[in-house]
Structure 1
Amino acid sequence: MTNKKKPGGWLESLKTVVYAGLIAIGIRTVAFEPFNIPSGSMIPTLLVGDYLFVSKYAYGYSKHSLPFSPDLFEGRIFGSLPARGDVAVFKFPRDNSTDYIKRIIGLPGDRVQVRQGRLYLNGQEVPRESLGLYTVEGDGPRITVRQYRESLPASPGSPARQHQILEASDDQRYDNTPEFLVPPGHVFAMGDNRDNSLDSRDMSIGVGFVPLENLVGRAEMIFFSVDGSAAWWEVWAWPFAVRWDRLLTAVR
């Protein structure tokens, strides 16, 4: 009788790690990918320290759906247009590598303009309702600004949408713009923190028009959030730094 040696435990462990890595890459590519919010351009919808899941399938797949954006193909597979009001992650058009997150305001063919802080779509003023004052914290100096509820018109296949925006005043840098005509194959994106967002309103150093190919996915849910009050080594303070009320909330 001969004894066959079983493969070493290290080989099985290596296989497990490889399989787990492939599964994780697959999920991140075709289903959901986690992102965190490092800046305040989307306050009050998203806060600095929010962690959220982005659905990769919402708009179909492009090379930017894959890790490191390999230049394997052009355009989108199973592509579909976002709806006005979607909060979307996309690759910054000027380097095609930096992740940005903004709200989709204009679709291909839309005319977008801001006049005295008011948003206009296709020549019509987008209604906004005052919600009072809002104190911005966690993104530089603590300031108080005005909060509004803005109502975007319906998109093809999607109803009208409402969301909150912030305005320090109606006479800031991007509160008076020319009228932009969104070209085919592109969208127009803006931050909800209107006076503290580098977005499609700036065609020189800002985002400009966003190619549909650059869309990574749609923000769906906040799964974790911290306010930055506890350092990584302050284990005893971690529970007090978590924004418990934001956990598992939908992004709207």
Structure 2
Amino acid sequence: MSFESILAHMNEHHQGELIALCKKYGNSQVEVQNAKLVGVDFVGLDIVYNENLSLRVEFPQKADEKSIKDSIIALCQAAKAPDVSGIADEIESFKKEFGSIIIASIDKQGNAISSYSPLIQVDGALYIYISEVAEHFESISANPSKVEVMFLEDESKAKSVILRKRLKYRVNAVFIERDSSEFEKALDSLESAMGGAGGIKTIRKMSDFHLIRLELGLGRFVKGFGAAYDILPNGEIKQVGGSGNPHGNPHSPHNPHKA
């Protein structure tokens, strides 16, 4: 399929899809009346809409002669009106892939602390089990309501380093009393997940280790270009609306890259 045939086909048969791309990635402050594909290459599409507004929409991955058709189809499908019905299940499945979690916290002096911890997931609840000697213990203790956590897709699994799937939450850290039923259940789960190895049986008995439940607040799930979702504390999921594509240029319909 040549670039010329792609231009002709899209403009003749897929005006709706081109308009949808402009609505999703273009200037959200204007109503899209019409759209025309004026350029295409293996990196993305150049579109002019409303006669004088230009937009560059790039593929998540560079295409080639064999994959460009599928890349365009995928881009157009992603621009359709959001259906969040399956996002909640996708979020839960994504969470379950992880045995550790990235943590951001604030110490007593107001300094940001980045860290990670093994993660315990029990009946939908999230826990970490950390030592008093760990740097983040002091910061989480000092500011338990000023903590964020992130699940971040491994680079080796991502389509691109800038498209790593990620899920983050603001959390409230709640310290769980040692020897409580909640403590025992969470540590039983961790010990089972680790197969009883890795020193878990030893540190389970150490009094300077503490179990913390992470109570989830506002969250955000990002799974690709234009695919970001806010997760409200009540569980409601809303797609995040963009304010435009950084490659768009309202002044030059003939050269979308010229500032």
Which has the larger helix fraction? 2
Task: State the TM-score, normalized to the length of structure 1.
Answer: 0.25
Task: State the TM-score, normalized to the length of structure 2.
Answer: 0.25
Select the structure of larger CA radius of gyration.
2
